[in-house]
Amino acid sequence: MVDVQVDAQNPHLTYRLKRDKLKQIRRREGRYLLRTNLTGSDPAQLWRYYLQLTQIEEAFRNLKGDLAIRPIYHQLEPRIEAHIFIAFLAYCLHVTLAQHMYPHAPGLTPRSVLEKFAAVQMTDVEIPTTDGRTIQLTRYTQPPKELKLLLERLRFELPAQPPPKITATQVDIATPV
């Protein structure tokens, strides 16, 4: 796009912009050139095939990366089918999350949202009482400000904290002899 000339006797550099080359490059900007061996196909159909191929490749990247679905070498056919089914369900949830996020938070990926939600943890707090029972409180941690904002944008609400459980300790009752 630039024609550069250097003078041999005088250390002098001159350049000029190749305007015709620049126009040609700008006309091609944002365009794809697809080569194929399918001769009688409609170019629009070839483009749809290409987009479909990129979506399939993205699905496999998601299964391997975000969802951490790795090859597991099962021996029995029902286990193989179950593994494929679980992987497919995980991918469906991944796509559903992406579709739900798009109108509310278009700049985020499902991976980044899942990483943000990983900050919320569930914990069990057990408090012994003076009469031998135990109070068990299952609680999730409060989300940070960034996650609260994301929850608002996605129109999600965390579930209510579950009620406490009170359990009695097992008391051995000796049978009279």
Domain ranges (residues) in the chain:
2-115, 121-167
- pLDDT 10s digits, 104-113: 888 888 888 8
C-alpha distances in angstroms, 77 versus 73, 90, 111, 121? 11, 20, 31, 36
Name which of 87, 90, 141 is nearest 119 in CA terms: 141
Q: Which two tokens stand for residue 111?
A: 């991976």
For range 126-146, the mean pLDDT: 89
> pLDDT at position 172, please?
46
Lowest mean pLDDT among 6-10, 22-26, 38-42: 38-42
> pLDDT at position 95, please?
85
- Around Cβ 133, how many Cβ atoms within 10 Å? 12
What is the pLDDT of the chain when averaged over all its residues?
82
Residue 72 vs residue 51, higher pLDDT: 51
pTM for the whole structure: 0.52
Alpha helices in the chain (DSSP H): 19-28, 43-64, 77-104, 110-117, 145-154
